[in-house]
Amino acid sequence: MYNTCMNNKRISKKDIENDLIRIFEKYPKSLEKAISICFNLVLDCFVVIYGEKKTIKLLDDAKKSINDGNHTQKQKKPRKTTKRSQK
């Protein structure tokens, strides 16, 4: 569905992440401002593409995901496992 202009391959999440990081690297002294501008631009795009109601639902889902700890910067504790006895 989406093609890149340069080499006509499918856009991957990694490609987008790399491009976005390059933008942030370009403005290291204003990182928070650059992130804020990008977030607002993406938010405007969502409203244009999906409309206000779907965007609000998406933001509610994002809020729930954050509250559930899916985007935390704290390291998750590894799950404790028990050794099984040999039979």
Ranges of each domain in the chain: 13-66
Say what the pTM is.
Answer: 0.65
3-class secondary structure, 3: strand
For 25-72, write each residue's pLDDT tens digit: 999 999 999 999 999 999 999 999 999 999 999 999 999 999 998 888
Instruction: Output the CA angle 72-17-26, nearest 5 degrees.
Output: 105
Q: What is the DSSP letter of 5?
A: T
**Tell me, what's the pLDDT at 1?**
39
pLDDT of residue 11 exceeding 90: no
Instruction: Map tokens 């569905």 to a residue.
Output: 1
Q: Higher pLDDT residue, 58 or 6?
A: 58
Looking at per-residue pLDDT, the higher value among 82 and 28 belongs to 28
Burial class (CB in 10 A: 0-12, 13-18, 19+), 55: middle
Q: Which pLDDT does position 15 carry in this prediction?
A: 94
